[in-house]
Amino acid sequence: MQENELYWNFGAGAGNWVFGGLCLLIVAVSIRLIVRERITLQGSMSYLAFLLVLGVMAAVPDVTGRVAHALGFAVMSNFFFCTAIALLAVLHLRALVTLSKVQLRSVALTQELAIMQEKLDRSLAELRRDR
């Protein structure tokens, strides 16, 4: 192996552990929010997986470097940013799906409310006629 191919083999420095710890702190806060029912578990699973992947990448940079090198990345930071962008794209897609479901449900509820209002108006009109 040539010397320039060992770019990733520098061990886990303090910065890696600080970043990994920050990811764990955010995971702990997210789990607390889930337990207190401030956010839903279903909506936050992708986010927790995103943090887990980035935390593992920071905690074991040698393995991450080998994977980056095997995938053809010349610099490990490029691999990190590529992974982060891909995971953010997944989170965005997940948010779009959730918003679409909410919008469809909102339309359905509005239609159901209009139907119920019409039935109520008809019932009130019949009561007035019967008096």
Predicted local confidence at residue 14, as pLDDT: 66
Predicted local confidence at residue 118, as pLDDT: 96
Cα separation, 12 vs 61, whole angstroms: 6
Computed over every residue of the chain, the mean pLDDT equals 84
Domains of the chain by residue range: 3-130
Predicted local confidence at residue 115, as pLDDT: 97
Average pLDDT over residues 23-34: 87
Tell me if 50 sits within 8 A of 87, measured CB to CB.
yes
Kindly indicate the confidence band of residue 123, based on its pLDDT and cuts at 50, 70 and 90: very high
18 in helix, strand or coil?
helix
pTM of the model: 0.66
